Amino acid sequence: MHSSFVPSGSQRLVASPSIGVYHLKHLHPCQCTTRANYLGRQLSQLCRTRASNNRSNNSDGIPEERQRSHKEASTSTPSPATQIRPALLLGICFALLAGAANRVLFKIALVPMGNYVFFLAQFQNFGYLLVYFTTLLIRVRAGAVTSEMLQVDKRPFILIGACEAASQVFSMIGASHLPGVLIPIINQSYLLWSFLLAALILKTRFHPSQLIGALLVVVGVALSVLPPDLAASLWHGNPSTAASTLSGSAGIPGVELKYVALVVACFSLPALASIMKDKIFRDERERLGRPLDIFVVNSFGSAFQALFVVLLLPVTTSLARVPLSQLPDYLVRGSQCLRGLTPACGTDCSLSPVLPFAYIVMNLLFNVSMLLLLRSIGAVGTTMVSSFLVPLTIAAFTLVPATFLPPPTLSSNFLLGAFILVCGQLIFNMPKLKAAFDRPKPA
């Protein structure tokens, strides 16, 4: 019968701290109590020594709980090293070039599709849905997308789809009552919404220089799109002249603040959608231990966006001045124009389908590249990068042949605005660049 081991009178236990093993030796019975106390002291000293060594190896004495909280807090902002990787810089350059080409091709595609902008938008919405899910299926069969990735929580995608669909409706309502020159300036509220929502939802903490840099970016973009006479009026402190310039450029008696507030508020919706995508990427990276495939996000986000587009169809068709009863005939004529067949309305579709499909392909590449950036540098970083698109697109329009679009004139305020924009970007990224360069280089 086996019983628990108890040292007999003729045995003793001797601690060997160097190897942590206890040996049996002979011991006289009268020495048992003394030796047992000695063994207890040796064992306690050994435990204290090992605990002290563990603490010294634990990141210079930082407790594990503090390390864990520090690691979680550090995920609120991208790692500084990710800001200067060559692959990331190439991705940023490609996204900017694709974005500028996307906006230029959109304006050129409106030459044949000018009467069918609503059709072109819906063709994109549902065409991208087919492309994204087809690509997702191919990547699932290739093993690039695992079953664990497909188990991502679908509830955030409902909010993403609703925000992206509703933003189209509200922006159409507000933009139809505002001067065209004012729209690019109001668009910069998207950056401010991104900062605010990142602080509230992602708990991102910004350096004061980052806030100053973001403010300079907003000022630079706004200044680069202002007409020269309007910029001169504001520079010389003539608000009445500036207001008359705004009114004259749009052909309306004045600017109604309620529509300005509506457009500013509606930009919170795509900003919220972008922040939610950022949160999905961060949560899934922690759950999976690897980045979530972007086509999972694109596919489910586009699916719910298409659902809400259908639900909002009565509103969007009325805003597009297409009665719901005439929608089937409108779609048929739009498809004819897209294929280059001049419909009965007399619109010149001779430049189709090359230009519209060139725009659709470029827009698809731009969306994928921006989502890759969002996964790498976060929503706020992607928004800051996209702010470069405004002056870059204006400069790109100067390269378009005059047969398609009249070339714009690059005024002095455009050059000044572009300079302020670049300065703002440098100031915004200064803490990250400084932290990256201050890191000790491996031996």
Res 312 pLDDT > 50:
yes
Sign of the CA dihedral with 313 first, then 354, 364, and 220 last: negative
Cα separation, 192 vs 437, whole angstroms:
28
Res 330 pLDDT > 50:
yes
pLDDT score recorded for residue 345: 57
What residue ranges in 336-416 does DSSP mark as E strands? none
Are the CB atoms for 388 and 426 separated by under 8 Å? no
Res 155 pLDDT > 90:
yes
Domain ranges of the chain: 7-44, 80-438
Query: Tens of pLDDT along 73-122?
Result: 444 444 433 445 788 888 889 999 999 999 888 888 887 887 888 888 88
Res 63 pLDDT > 50:
no
Res 29 pLDDT > 60:
no
Are the CB atoms for 415 and 431 separated by under 8 Å? no
Are the CB atoms for 45 and 27 separated by under 8 Å? no
The total of other beta-carbon atoms located within 10 Å of residue 156's CB is 19
DSSP 8-state code for residue 341:
-
Cα separation, 383 vs 298, whole angstroms:
18
Cα separation, 368 vs 373, whole angstroms:
9
CA 369 to chain centre: 11
Nearest Cα residue to 99 out of 396, 375, 374, 298: 396
pLDDT score recorded for residue 156: 95
Nearest Cα residue to 199 out of 272, 249, 128: 272
| Tokens matching residue 311 | 């639900």
Higher per-residue pLDDT: 14 or 344: 344
Any idea what the Cα angle at residue 344 is, between residues 343 and 348, rounded to 5°? 50
Mean pLDDT of 373-402: 82
Which of helix, strand or coil describes residue 21?
strand
Taking phi over 0 as left and psi of -120 to 50 as alpha, with beta for the rest, 22 belongs to beta
